[in-house]
């Protein structure tokens, strides 16, 4: 077995510091399934609002009210299964605050934003469940910080959660190959984030769209996909390319340092170490008194 093969084999057997268990996996699947329905129900019901200003004004508060308890269920399931303890929750709070502080550093004229950069190494190092919760909480906290609260927020939270989730699903690599893989993932995730979040308003957009790129109520799936692809290329691909490029460049520049810092923090915190309570041994002075 070569050195590289042995390194990959050892890495593949190494569990994430904050791993998923049965109940937390089920809770995460429910949260993601609800997110898919939140984005896709207009396609299932062939529904269309009158204009984008009224899109999701009725269901967005309900989606938000359901997303936050689902996140709490994921965290509580991890705590109950022993996958997350007080140290992991503290680290989650610190990384959420850091991610929220990064959002104002983005360029308003483009889609580039450093807020997505932290989600990728965090999900990679700390696991899928941690990455999902971190992504949703980071977008929530950053929206409060920047005043970006609106009917789009729960959809942005879910999409960012998936960025962190799938970062934890990447294959085991180390060194330059890992950085290259994370940079490529950051670019793909930057494009997909924009493509997914557009769906919160596209079925309801009626102003200024030609028939070839607008949602057609009652049309076939093939027609809807074709129209949305044309809409995305015409309106969003340039914006999302800057986000993808920004993610890749940040990972190439600072990804190694952030990965090392997160792995060092996880190692020192010893998230996976079992907790055992040992009764204190009597001091020599007490033993001498009993004699």
Instruction: Tell me the C-alpha distance between 103 and 196, whole Å.
Output: 19
pLDDT tens-digit profile of 83-104?
677 888 888 899 999 988 888 7
pLDDT, position 184: 96
- Close Cβ partners of 261 (under 8 Å, ≥ 6 residues apart): none
* pTM, to two decimals: 0.79
For the cut 90, the answer to whether the pLDDT of residue 251 exceeds it is yes
pLDDT tens-digit profile of 202-215?
887 766 677 888 88
Q: How far is CA 94 from CA 88, 90, 97, 99, 138, in A?
A: 10, 6, 5, 9, 10
Instruction: Tell me the C-alpha distance between 167 and 221, whole Å.
Output: 29
As a whole number, mean pLDDT of residues 39-54 equals 61
User: How many beta carbons lie within 10 A of that of residue 148, not counting itself?
Assistant: 13
């Amino acid at each position: 077995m070569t050195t590289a093969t042995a390194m990959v084999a050892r890495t593949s057997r190494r569990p994430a510091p904050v791993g998923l268990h049965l109940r937390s996996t089920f809770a995460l699947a429910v949260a993601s399934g609800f997110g898919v329905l939140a984005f896709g129900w207009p396609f299932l019901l062939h529904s269309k609002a009158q204009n984008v200003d009224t899109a999701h004004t009725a269901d967005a508060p309900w989606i938000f009210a359901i997303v936050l308890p689902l996140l709490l269920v994921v965290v509580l399931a991890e705590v109950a299964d022993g996958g997350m303890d007080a140290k992991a929750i503290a680290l989650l709070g610190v990384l959420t605050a850091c991610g929220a502080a990064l959002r104002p550093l983005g360029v308003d004229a483009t889609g580039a934003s450093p807020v997505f950069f932290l989600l990728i190494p965090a999900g990679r190092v700390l696991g899928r469940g941690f990455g999902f919760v971190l992504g949703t909480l980071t977008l929530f906290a950053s929206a409060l910080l920047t005043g970006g609260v609106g009917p789009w927020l729960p959809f942005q939270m879910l999409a960012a959660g998936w960025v962190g989730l799938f970062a934890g699903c990447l294959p085991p690599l180390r060194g330059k190959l890992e950085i290259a893989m994370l940079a490529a993932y950051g670019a793909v995730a930057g494009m997909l984030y924009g493509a997914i979040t557009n769906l919160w308003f596209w079925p309801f957009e009626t102003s200024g769209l030609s028939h070839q790129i607008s949602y057609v109520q009652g049309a076939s799936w093939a027609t809807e996909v074709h129209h949305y692809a044309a809409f995305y290329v015409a309106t969003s691909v340039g914006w999302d390319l800057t986000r993808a490029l920004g993610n890749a460049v940040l990972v190439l520049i600072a990804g190694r340092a952030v990965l090392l810092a997160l792995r060092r923090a996880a190692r020192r915190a010893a998230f996976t170490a079992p907790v055992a309570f040992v009764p204190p041994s009597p001091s020599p002075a007490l033993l001498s008194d009993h004699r």
